[in-house]
Amino acid sequence: MNALSDDIKTMLVVPSSLALTAGTNLFINMEPKEPDLCVTIYDTPSFPPESPLDNLTTYYRSSCQIRVRAKDSPTGMSLARDIMEYLHSRAGEEWGGSLYTVIRATGEPALLDWDQNNRPRFIINFNCQRR
């Protein structure tokens, strides 16, 4: 089973409307200094796995945070919202050898802070159930 961040990265490069390319403006667990507009996916603490009564399948309840940095607030918020709308409520899809039974945003995008170069950073948190 891949790290959740790996599968989310793969999901985010599929829609051309998001214009995200791994290693160019889409990163995992480390936000680079450039480019100004970028998305970074962080694996975050999650809930323990669950096994149904039949004990045949284990469901992993993984979580991640997606951080969007931009030169200005409207651009950053717009991309963060597009990512949330693209991922929220996806279900029954296989990615990286795992069946994603549901992906849920835990809330709407929010301003996290401003980086050392005065660029706004927005976050969206997701919980996923997969097996």
Band of residue 16 on the pLDDT scale cut at 50, 70, 90: confident
Q: How far apart are CA 5 and CA 9, in angstroms?
A: 6
* Residue 49 pLDDT > 80: no
Total count of domains within the chain = 1
Band of residue 54 on the pLDDT scale cut at 50, 70, 90: low
Q: How far apart are CA 81 and CA 42, in angstroms?
A: 17
Q: Which of 2-6, 13-17, 69-73, 117-121 has the lowest mean pLDDT?
A: 13-17
- Within 10 A of 9 (CB to CB), how many other CB atoms are there? 24
Whose structure tokens read 């976050």? 123
Band of residue 84 on the pLDDT scale cut at 50, 70, 90: very high
Measured between alpha carbons, how far is residue 131 from residues 3, 8, 87 in Å?
12, 15, 18
CATH number of the CATH domain containing 103 = 3.30.2000.10
> Could you tell me if 64 and 41 are in contact, meaning their C-beta atoms sit under 8 angstroms apart?
yes
Q: Which pLDDT belongs to residue 53?
A: 67
* Residue 73 pLDDT > 80: yes
* pTM given for the model: 0.91
Band of residue 46 on the pLDDT scale cut at 50, 70, 90: confident
* Residue 65 pLDDT > 70: yes
> Could you tell me if 110 and 123 are in contact, meaning their C-beta atoms sit under 8 angstroms apart?
yes
Residue 94 structural domain: 4-130
CA atoms within 13 A on the CB side of 55: 0
For residues 123 and 55, which has the higher predicted lDDT (pLDDT)? 123
Q: Report DSSP state, residue 22.
A: B
